[in-house]
Amino acid sequence: MLGAACRWFILALAIALPGAMTLQAQPADPLAILEGRTIRFIIGGTPAGTTDSYARPFFDGLKALLPRSTVVAQNIQGGAGVLGLVEAATASPGVITMVVIQSSVVGGQVIGSDSSAVDIRPFHAIGSFTHDQRVMTVRAGLGLPDFAALAAYGETLMTPVVLENSATHVEALLLSAFFPLRLEIIVGVDDDLRQSLVLAGDSDLHSNSWRNLANLIEGKVVVPVLRWAKDGYPPELDSIPTFADLVPSTVPAAVAEVEDSINRLGRFVLAAPATDPAIVDALRVAFDRVMTSPALISAYDQADLVLVPTGGEEMQRRLDQLLKDEAAIAAFRAAVECGRARATGAEISCLP
């Protein structure tokens, strides 16, 4: 028979083991792999610009979430986010590198622009802050209350755009392709100058994100006539038709679908191509945690920023789906090129 001491030992072991086994079964913190590491956060936009305004609250939240890591931010502006992407593409794997960019970079790759110096496909999607919420507006002084009136206008419309690969240019070319508009497109006008031209009455058509246009719309300087995507807009724009609503029915549906997909990518975060898969997973978890923190939600609310977050896995799915659909991309490119020809005076029809 077992002695009393032995019986007590077995009883104590039986009591202790479930706790020990439970302790061992607890999963490790998925963020542990980021502890003590240096995380470089590249913002592909100007300080205080829209991309920067969305990125900074997340940057602050990431620092608070990872107090034992060194998290540093750097603005690299140029090429509507392209230069930030170039910097991240060549980053050393010894430093965890993320870049925040806008969807113009994806649009540039879709249309095959020479300005898209980096293939976005090897990057890893970490998450998106919001949809692009892009809106086409017309100068209020023209007296055109909606898109139907704009399409029937008949006079030349001054349309300054940022860069060859910018969303502003692609959007102008799509309008040129499918609607009876006479556009004089001027490439190379940055956002600050474009806004000055609007205020001076020297810009007729102006496309930008809702955040950059809100004051002009509220001040009745411009009139919103078209939304470039379906989702992610503030309620006050619900009555404005989308590009998909207005484009002629004979146009392949893929053209509007690609435009909508690009806009839905919005302002988003990518990890550099050389990033270890385990770190990519951890960064996605970190993104989700920061996005749901009350501090970040409050910061966006105070800055009057529309928050429509999308997790990294869903963002990766959207990017892959968009960039692998060769037939849709071919239809979109054909529309853009036809619009370019019409904008330069070619008497051709882009309608099937």
Determine what percent of the chain falls in helix, strand and coil, rounding each to the nearest 5: 50, 20, 35
Percentage of the chain beyond pLDDT 70 is: 90
Q: Which CATH architecture has domain 134-256+329-343?
A: 3-Layer(aba) Sandwich (3.40)
- Burial letters 9-42, b for 16+ CB under 10 A, else e: eeeeeeeeeeeeeeeeeeeeeebebbeebebbbb
Question: pLDDT value at position 325?
Answer: 94
3-state secondary structure of 335: helix
Q: Which CATH architecture has domain 32-131+262-326?
A: 3-Layer(aba) Sandwich (3.40)
How sure is the predictor about 15, in pLDDT bands with cuts at 50, 70 and 90?
very low
CA distance 169 to 188: 10
Q: Do domains 32-131+262-326 and 134-256+329-343 have the same CATH topology?
A: yes
44-56 pLDDT, tens digit per residue, is: 988 888 889 999 9
Closest CA to 247 of 258, 256, 239: 256
Contact by Cβ (8 Å): 89, 118: yes
Pairing between strand 156-161 and 182-187?
A: parallel
Question: pLDDT value at position 174?
Answer: 96
Tokens 């392949």 — which residue?
252
156-165 pLDDT, tens digit per residue, is: 999 999 877 7
How sure is the predictor about 155, in pLDDT bands with cuts at 50, 70 and 90?
very high
73-116 pLDDT, tens digit per residue, is: 999 977 667 888 888 888 887 899 999 998 888 888 898 855 45
Length of the chain: 352
How sure is the predictor about 292, in pLDDT bands with cuts at 50, 70 and 90?
very high
pTM of the model: 0.84
CA dihedral 226, 234, 51, 204 (to 10 degrees): 30
325-334 pLDDT, tens digit per residue, is: 999 999 999 9
3-state secondary structure of 39: strand
CA distance 176 to 344: 10
Tokens 């496309």 — which residue?
207
Question: Helices (DSSP H) in the chain: which residue ranges?
Answer: 4-25, 50-65, 82-89, 104-111, 147-151, 167-178, 191-199, 210-218, 243-246, 253-265, 277-291, 294-302, 312-324, 326-343
Question: pLDDT value at position 116?
Answer: 55
Q: Where are the domains of the chain?
A: 32-131+262-326, 134-256+329-343
DSSP count for the chain of H helices, then E strands: 14, 11
Question: pLDDT value at position 327?
Answer: 95
